Chain A
Amino acid sequence: MANTNQAGVKRVERPLSPHLQIYRPQLTSFTSILTRITGNALIVGVALAVWWLLAAAVSPAYFAVANAVCTSWFGDLVFTGSAWAVWYHYLAGLRHLYFDAGKGLDVATAEKLGWGVIIGSVVLTVLTIVIV
């Protein structure tokens, strides 16, 4: 498909990132998109945590409400999910810094690092639940 812009030059309609139409699902692309999803989803956990902190600053009655929500099944779900998301995003971020340094970019190493991020995030989440 091609249309013409104001300068009269033909422009090709290119697919937007991440080019799902032409990509075969693979570990590297899966771990990459998950980095984006976890990073953006963390806003939910942060918003809940800040609301809880605000309630603690305002009054005991308000804190009782926020604390009840945060320690309910809903709060547990959000914070446990956030714990995994933060560790996944953390390890994937470290991997990104390693990639940015120009290292670990061959397929075998990148896939090994991908598994490291997935397994590592689960291990760290379990450790967080146990310790904290």
Chain B
Amino acid sequence: MRYITARKRAIGKGSAHTGTEHHWSMTVSAVALAFLVPTWVYVFGHALGQDYDTVRATFARPFPSILTAMVLVVGMRHFAKGATMMIEDYARGTARKLCIIAAYSISSVIVATGLYALVKIAL
């Protein structure tokens, strides 16, 4: 007979060694993306293949620009956390740490680049 609760025995035994905040964060960003992504696919799909001036005119408008910014910020956070979940399942120790840092770095570079482009086109 062990005088310890089932919860105490379970804590830290998952592959991530942490609680439910990560999963909840993925749920919240998933719901946001469920609204953002179909709209963005339509906007981006229409812009792709157009000439230089048309593309700039599209992303100079508030709606496509703000939508793209939101897709990038929310989407890349969703990606970084999702990639982290995958890495935590397959890698351990230093490799795990380096992979997670790389995933967050790639996401940050993409968000920064995208926002820079949007601001430059808008101005």
Contact = CB atoms under 8 A, between A and B. Distances in A.
Interface in A12-35: 16-18
A50 interface: yes
Given A40-B83, A56-B52, A71-B49, A49 B27 contact: no
**Which secondary structure dominates chain A's binding surface?**
helix
Nearest to A18: B89
A126 B38 CA distance: 14
Interface stretch (A1-9, A91-99, A104-112): A91-99
Nearest to B89: A17
Contact of B110 (A39, A50, A52): A50
A53 B79 contact: no
A57 B27 contact: no
B77 to A, nearest CB: 13
B114 A86 contact: no
B63 interface: no
A60 B79 contact: no
A39 B82 contact: yes
Contacts of A100: 27
B81 to A, nearest CB: 11
Contacts of A43: 79, 83, 106, 110
B15 A56 contact: no
Interface in B39-74: 41-42, 44-46, 48-49, 52, 55-56, 59, 68, 72
Interface of B: 15, 27, 30-31, 33-34, 37-38, 41-42, 44-46, 48-49, 52, 55-56, 59, 68, 72, 75-76, 79, 82-83, 86, 89-90, 106, 110, 113-114, 116-118, 120-121
